[in-house]
Amino acid sequence: MKFGNLLLLASAWLCLSVSAQAEDQHSYANLTQVSTPHLALDINVDFAKQVISGTATYQLQWKDPTADAIHMDTRELTIKDAQVWLNDHWQGTTFTLAEANPVLGSELTVALPKGAEKLKLQYQTAPTASGLQWLTPAQTAGKKNPFMFSQSQPIHARSWIPIQDTPALRLTYDAHVTTRDDLLVLMSASNDGAAEVDGDYQFEMPQPIPPYLIAIAAGDMKFKAIDNKVGVYAEPGMVDDAAWEFADTPKMIDAAESLYGPYRWGRYDLLILPPSFPFGGMENPRLSFITPTVVAGDRSLVNLIAHELAHSWSGNLVTNASWRDLWLNEGFTSYVENRIMEALYGKRRAVMEQVLGYQDLQRDMASLPAEDTVLNIELGQRNPDDVFSNVPYVKGQLFLMYLEDKFGRATFDKFLRNYFDSFAFQSITTQQFQDFLARELLNKHPGKVSMAKVNQWLHEPGLPEDAPHPTSDVFDKVAQQQRAWLKGASLNTADWTTHEWLYFINTLPQDLSTDNMRRLDDKFALTESKNAEIAHAWLLLGIKKGYEPVKTRLRSYLQHIGRNKLVVPLYQALAQTPDNLKLARQIYAQAKAGYHPLTQHKVEAVLHAKP
């Protein structure tokens, strides 16, 4: 396996703090005046109080010599003290914490005397910090020790660190973290799989990253190496299964490097979190956070690992400068993910995953307002959590597939590699991408794609008429079997993968009878499926069809899984009838304590929506 070394071009390092001065409506940061290119954390993780406390010390980079303050983002933080490093010693300075905005949190303004080189803030989080989840021992697999993990994307870093919380900022960081002496702490930084568990840990992240990629976890975790650069952390009872499930990760890195250049982050490890983790994965550099719902026992859901790995190029290396540019992270990553899957597992599997993604996009676009189907979306000050959908992911991927088709794969691969190299360790806007696209692809190969067509993809709702529409001959065969089965024939599923089952269940006709559901269930035990994705699809269908046997499993499923993609649609389906809404509220009352705050927010919006 070829890993790129950590030597970076000097010009890239000059972009440590701000490489794109985009207006970010989701941050109070005054980056054009003062930015913070390096952070030093010295914090304690207190499980008894469910708080993090300590100091955050920032190197200051002055952009405007007339500036007299720095503006930072906080949410529910207590700021106890502020000091600046001036004339070779620390001295106190004044600060104000504004009234909280329901989306943005509280603006922190700290007075800066001329010539100040560093800023040190003493602070403490709230037990209700939106970017942290504290789990009791009973909410973990091992049942013996508590667990804590962060989720900083998109704007939750400010809930556990006072920070200029915008992806337009890039900063390096180091950290000293203490906690209970029987728990391991990991961060999105240098981790040592052989570290002694003693409650005292040091970390360093030498590459500049946006604040939303600062991550922390603490709990009873073990490490198992896959090779000398890749390994898995998980609770002790899961680490062996996870290491087996994701054994192809080194091959994924090889495939990505052959396409898009060196992996520039040193190690690539995976942390398998408890089931309450609200997402499939989070691409924290050096340590992707992963849901246990993809440990399926058959390596059928490893495209999620390919996705989080792909972020090492698209998202972590080249980053969206604001959340209205999210498609630059997720559309590129979905495209790269699929190319990795094709390289390792063949075009047949890659195309099946394209089709399933396309179906997900169609469902989302049917329910979203037109303005939310634009790639370069206008967010205003809406909470960016609420506008994540398949649009930036799959529509963005389809746009890049369209360009690949028009220019040819060899030409487009060369363009993408140039893109990642040219903007490495920078945060950019959609306009910067368009300028680069015009200069490096459109103008060099005239007559293939117009800028008017690019603008249609990026700035207009829906899909262009000539957008790619992936189809799979494998799914055509599934559809043939489905039609025959509906007429009474038996199904031959011996060689079906998760993908075929999902396609089969998701395309069953709207007038499917409960008798036919029972016929399927009796034969294949779908209600009790151990595959979280197949179970989700079947339970969702069961709710819509009023298939009573799913209700017992539904309770168990919703109380033991917290992944938004899997639980929120089930609550949405239950909320469609009064009786099921009552059931959903009962289930949620029991499940709430095990859900991440982000999941709680989404589910409560469904269960208590105004008619």
Residue 279 annotated as binding site: yes
**Residue 380 Cα distances to 11, 104, 371, angstroms:** 33, 12, 12
Confidence of residue 16 (pLDDT cuts 50, 70, 90): very low
Residue 152 annotated as binding site: yes
DSSP string, 121-162: EEEE--TT-TTEEEE-GGGSSSSSS-EEEE--TTTTGGGTS-
d(CA 434, CA 457): 11
Q: How does pLDDT run across 564-605, given as a tens digit for each residue?
A: 999 999 999 999 999 999 999 999 999 999 999 889 999 999
CA dihedral 315, 316, 318, 322 (to 10 degrees): 60
- Is the Cβ–Cβ distance between 184 and 219 less than 8 Å? yes
Structure tokens at 287: 């340590």
**Could you tell me the pTM of the whole model?**
0.93
* 3-state secondary structure (DSSP) of residue 312: coil
- Is the Cβ–Cβ distance between 552 and 583 less than 8 Å? no
- Give the strands of the sheet with 69-74, arranged side by side: 69-74, 106-111, 95-97
Strands 268-272 and 287-290, how do they pair?
A: parallel
Residue 564 annotated as binding site: yes
The sign of the CA dihedral 41, 43, 47, 48 is negative
Cis before 65 (ω within 30): no
Q: Of 123, 173, 393, 595, which one is the catalytic site residue?
A: 393
Residue 281 annotated as binding site: yes
**What domains does the chain contain, in order, with CATH numbers?**
318-459 (1.10.390.10), 508-607 (1.25.40.320)
Residue 164 annotated as binding site: no
Q: What pLDDT score was predicted for residue 13?
A: 35
d(CA 458, CA 480): 37
Residue 137 annotated as binding site: no
- Is the Cβ–Cβ distance between 597 and 128 less than 8 Å? yes
Q: What pLDDT score was predicted for residue 8?
A: 34
- Is the Cβ–Cβ distance between 594 and 143 less than 8 Å? no
Q: What pLDDT score was predicted for residue 3?
A: 31
Residue 598, CB-side half-sphere exposure with 13 Å CA sphere:
26
Maximum C-alpha span of the chain:
85
Question: Does pLDDT of 413 surpass 90?
Answer: yes
Q: What pLDDT score was predicted for residue 7?
A: 33
Q: What is the DSSP letter of 37?
A: E
Residues 6+ apart with CB under 8 A from 41: 54, 55, 56, 57, 161, 173, 174, 175, 176, 177
d(CA 109, CA 67): 12
Q: How does pLDDT run across 363-375, given as a tens digit for each residue?
A: 999 999 999 999 9
Residues 6+ apart with CB under 8 A from 460: 374
The sign of the CA dihedral 206, 211, 213, 218 is positive
d(CA 387, CA 376): 12
DSSP string, 469-536: ----HHHHHHHHHHHHHHTTPPP--TT--HHHHHHHHHTS-TT--HHHHHHHHHHH-GGG-S-HHHHH
Q: Of 308, 342, 404, 500, which one is the catalytic site residue?
A: 308
What is the helix (H) or strand (E) element at residue 194, kind and residue range?
none
Residue 415 annotated as binding site: no
Residue 283 annotated as binding site: yes
User: Mean of the per-residue pLDDT values for the chain?
Assistant: 94
Q: What pLDDT score was predicted for residue 386?
A: 86
More confident residue, 1 or 348: 348
CA nearest to 431, candidates 454, 404, 403, 465: 454
393 among known catalytic residues: yes
- Is the Cβ–Cβ distance between 371 and 291 less than 8 Å? no
What is the helix (H) or strand (E) element at residue 26, kind and residue range?
none
**What type of residue sits at position 191?**
N
Residue 153 annotated as binding site: yes
* 3-state secondary structure (DSSP) of residue 463: coil
Question: Does pLDDT of 1 surpass 70?
Answer: no
Residues 6+ apart with CB under 8 A from 209: 170, 171, 172, 173, 188, 285, 316
Question: Does pLDDT of 381 surpass 90?
Answer: no
Strands 89-92 and 78-86, how do they pair?
A: antiparallel
DSSP string, 252-296: HHHHHHHHH----SS-EEEEE--TT-SSSEE--TTEEEE-GGG--
Q: What pLDDT score was predicted for residue 10?
A: 32
Confidence of residue 610 (pLDDT cuts 50, 70, 90): confident
Residue 278 annotated as binding site: yes
Residues counted in the chain? 611
The sign of the CA dihedral 292, 521, 351, 463 is negative
Q: How does pLDDT run across 251-306, given as a tens digit for each residue?
A: 999 999 999 999 999 999 999 999 999 999 999 999 999 999 999 999 999 999 99
Residue 261 annotated as binding site: no
Q: How does pLDDT run across 50-93, given as a tens digit for each residue?
A: 999 999 999 999 999 999 999 999 999 999 999 999 999 999 99
- Is the Cβ–Cβ distance between 331 and 388 less than 8 Å? no
* 3-state secondary structure (DSSP) of residue 313: coil
Rounded to 5 degrees, φ, ψ at 117 are -100, -30
